[in-house]
């Protein structure tokens, strides 16, 4: 896991969501809270955390995939959610461009340590933080049968494989030498918190 290596002895909690969803119109959620869709719930989450953590040294870090969204527009929408919170917790929005696998692909030596038989021609052809089907590139480099085999198995197999890749590659990652600009932005923003 990367976060303990970044923040030392500071404490943290990670909350995962079943999907990213969409920012609701008028910032009013339309889905059931139990569905755990991040963007739909984000206005209520930040508002609640702002009240809960008022007066405490805490930060909320929202990490999500950019996918094929316009980066500047998406960040502006996220900042609008923050602007509507009173009180607002210290909140950082960090985007993996295009997907979280871009951060793994930014450290080819870490991939090679975790997956010694990875296909170097595929890894070397990847352009960092490009919108190109990032998870598919990683799958083609390290998974038997590539992304085509995973898609045939269904989304639950794909999700399980992505989790496994992160667990296997992350311990080998060099936090100071990553070729993904969005990963480096994430690292710098964490450092700026002075946690």
For 166-191, how does the pLDDT look when each residue is reduced to its tens digit (9 = 90+)? 999 999 999 999 999 999 999 999 88
Arithmetic mean of pLDDT, 115-127: 98
**Within 10 A of 163 (CB to CB), how many other CB atoms are there?**
11
* CA 14 – CA 104 distance, rounded (Å): 19
**Within 10 A of 8 (CB to CB), how many other CB atoms are there?**
7
For 79-106, how does the pLDDT look when each residue is reduced to its tens digit (9 = 90+)? 998 998 888 899 999 999 999 999 999 9
pTM over 0.75: yes
For 122-140, how does the pLDDT look when each residue is reduced to its tens digit (9 = 90+)? 999 999 999 999 999 999 9
CB crowding 101-137: b at 16 or more within 10 Å, else e: bbbbbbbbebbbebbeebeeebbeebebbeeeebbbb
| Terminal-to-terminal C-alpha distance of the chain | 17
């Amino acid at each position: 896991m990367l976060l303990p290596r970044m923040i030392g002895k500071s404490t943290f909690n990670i909350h995962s969501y079943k999907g990213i969803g969409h920012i609701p119109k008028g910032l009013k959620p339309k889905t059931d809270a139990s569905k755990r869709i991040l963007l739909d719930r984000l206005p209520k989450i930040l508002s609640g955390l702002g009240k809960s953590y008022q007066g405490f040294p805490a930060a909320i870090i929202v990490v999500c995939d950019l996918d094929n969204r316009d980066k500047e527009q998406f960040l502006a929408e996220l900042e609008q959610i923050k602007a509507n919170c009173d009180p607002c917790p210290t909140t950082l929005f960090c985007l993996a461009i295009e997907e979280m696998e871009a951060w793994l692909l930014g450290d080819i030596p870490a991939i090679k340590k975790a997956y010694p038989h990875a296909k170097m021609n595929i890894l070397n052809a990847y352009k960092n933080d490009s919108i190109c089907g990032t998870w598919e590139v990683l799958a083609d480099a390290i998974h038997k049968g590539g992304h085509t085999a995973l898609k045939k198995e269904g989304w639950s197999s794909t999700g399980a494989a992505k989790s496994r890749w992160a667990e296997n590659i992350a311990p080998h990652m060099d936090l100071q030498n990553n070729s993904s600009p969005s990963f480096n932005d994430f690292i710098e923003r964490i450092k700026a918190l002075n946690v």
